[in-house]
Amino acid sequence: MSFSLYDIANAGVRANSELLQTTSKNIANVNTEGYVRERTEFTTMIDNQVGRGETYRLLNEFAQKQLNRDTSNKAFFDQFVTEASRVDSLFSEESNSLSTSINSFFNNVQESLNQPSSTVARSLVMTDAQNLIDQMDRLSSIVVDQKAVVNEQLEIFSDEANNLIQSISELNTKIASVHGTDRESVSSGLYNERDKAIRDLSELIDIETLDGNNGEKQVYLGSGQALVMQSGTFNLFSFSGDPDPNFKELKLDVNGGKAVPLEVDVSKLKGKIGGLLAFRDDILVPAQNQLGQMGLALADAFNQQNSLGMDANGEIGGDIFAIPTVDAFGYQANTGTSTMTATVEPGLGSELPASDFVVTYTSASTVEIQPIDNKGEPLGSPATANIVGGVIDSSTITPAGSDSFGLQLNVSGAANTGDQFMVKLNSQAATTLELATERPEDLALASPIRTATDINNTSDASISAGTVSDIDNSTGITVGPPPSLANGDITLVKTANANEYQITDGNGTSTFTITPPAENILAQAGAPYDTYGFDFNIEGSPATGDTFTVEFNTGGFDDNRNGLLLADLQNGELVRQNVEASSTADNHKTFNQAYSGIVTDIGVVTSQAQTNGAAFTALADQSEAWYESLSGVNLDEEAANLLRFQQSYAASAQVLSTARTIFDTLLSAAR
């Protein structure tokens, strides 16, 4: 009996000792991140022996996978909101508002109209033009700085992810070596460490796990690409820019970099890395493209209108803004030696969409121009253009009249079919726009022509002030210096015949009949007058012999007619909204509307991210609570277990003491 009692007590002491060790281990690791609480269980006592104890981790793998998914989503929005909120506050700050600078610039243009000959008034316009450029540069610099920060963080996070991927692979190897052996129960730390690495990796990217052989865990991106595979193999992240080295793209290096890297679908990527990429693609890229687009549209429109006027020196106006020319980025796969630069085709700044472009050589002398969105996906239909004299502009677009997107491309060198270039005119121009002149006199407020109604006319009919539409291709205006009407003054006389007029200038005298209303007289007169680059209307009903004249506006420094058109650009819808225009929708906005759209878009995207972030934070908290309810250490429960196992241990020890006393008594009786 004493031997049986002794065996029972000894087994009880051993079993309760293991239970106490497990409980003590749980208590000691209550603050250890990633620790999964353990439980030791024993089989029913047989032949006076407690069955072999088994210690295992309390883990619900479904709860664990759900927690990893929710952690990825929460980290995605946390990172996105953190970055986006900073840009949102900067763009919405009144002191940073581009609208304020635009309004101030055009207000001073309006003020100059009151005193067109005043150098002071003109100087204020030029000062505000520089302030406008500086403000645009400040806003664009904010975006550029944020892009640099994103690139730095992406490098850091990708290094962290790669370290975790390698760590998981190494832990898989260690776990496989103990799986199914007696050492498995004492190797729970390996499993905890691996689960912790997987959880940490889920904060950086969206992942899914599958059970492999020998206790291994295979890890995949949410989009399906393998990260950690069986037998210790794995793929690592890399960031590189092709064709733009400053625009990093996420890839997977396969087979130690010996195979072609796999493209990663960043739209499905979560975690901190996904949040950074989404912030860059959804906020930074559109914001900088739209800023550049606004600057180019404004500069081109102002230059074009200024070139149709006469400045304070009596000369034909020139450019006020220097529109930049940027280098296109050639793809690494190009086999030719061609290079490419891009700028705005003069007069077509309003046709430039806020996008980047991929230009593909379809032959040595033809290209396809495809706008792309912020994620590199095609927008609308591509344009096909011919290369004429190393230049690609609207005149080479085929078929004629197709959308040219306002681009002018200059190419040099030999290209092979399939060679591609990426044009980032908008984003590069946002920080490189400058003034072409700082001279107030170069502001062309006057019109180069003036009209007059003869004082001896017998009717009340009059001639309009006239409008200048084209000087570069004009056959009626000589730029000079000095500028003048190429064919001298124009005289228009009403004949006795209905709707018939006689026109006289250096080209001789011609008679023609107009179609009422009497608008665009030179266009109705036909060649050579229809290419003069300016025109006028006759208002009222002229009498026979009534005479009207057009002459160059020599000495017209107090004239502000072109200045009125310059000021009216503020209200012009000159900023293109979409690549694909609807026939029923307005596809252009004013400068202020366009900037308000940028601020609104950033605010809306940030607000949506904050709302989604709050939702996923709540889900992550629920998943954490669900996971911790089973796998987390509960000190109250462990304290109760500790007390219970201590009492059980003490009882077993007391039984052991009793068995020893009985055994000693029996020995004494035998003597």
First to last CA, the chain: 19
Backbone angles phi, psi at 180, to 5 degrees: 80, 5
Domain boundaries, the chain: 2-58+632-670, 449-552
- Half-sphere exposure (CA, 13 Å, Cβ side) for 516? 6
The pLDDT assigned to 30 comes to: 80
What is the SS3 assignment for 356? strand
423 token code pair: 């044009």
- Measure Cα distances from 31 to 139, 320, 335, 629 in Å: 46, 67, 59, 15
Reported as type and span, the H/E element at residue 316 is none
Residue 401 falls in which region: left (phi positive, over 0), alpha (psi -120 to 50) or beta: left
Global model pTM greater than 0.75: yes
- Measure Cα distances from 233 to 173, 204, 562 in Å: 10, 20, 72
Reported as type and span, the H/E element at residue 198 is helix 188-204
Q: How far apart are CA 565 and CA 559, in angstroms?
A: 12
The pLDDT assigned to 2 comes to: 45
Residue 10 identity: N
110 token code pair: 């309006």
Give the position of tokens 């220097």. 322
Residue 237 · residue 107 · CB < 8 Å: no
Residue 207 · residue 270 · CB < 8 Å: no
The ranges of the chain with pLDDT < 70 are 1-3, 43-53, 185, 254-263, 400-401, 581-586, 663-664, 670-671
Residue 75 identity: A
Contacts within 8 Å (CB) and 24+ apart, 662-671: 662/1, 662/2, 662/5, 663/2, 663/3, 663/6, 666/2
Residue 161 · residue 219 · CB < 8 Å: no
The pLDDT assigned to 259 comes to: 47
Burial label for 349, CB within 10 Å (0-12, 13-18, 19+), is buried
Identify the CA nearest to 153 among candidates 82, 211, 220: 82
The pLDDT assigned to 548 comes to: 96
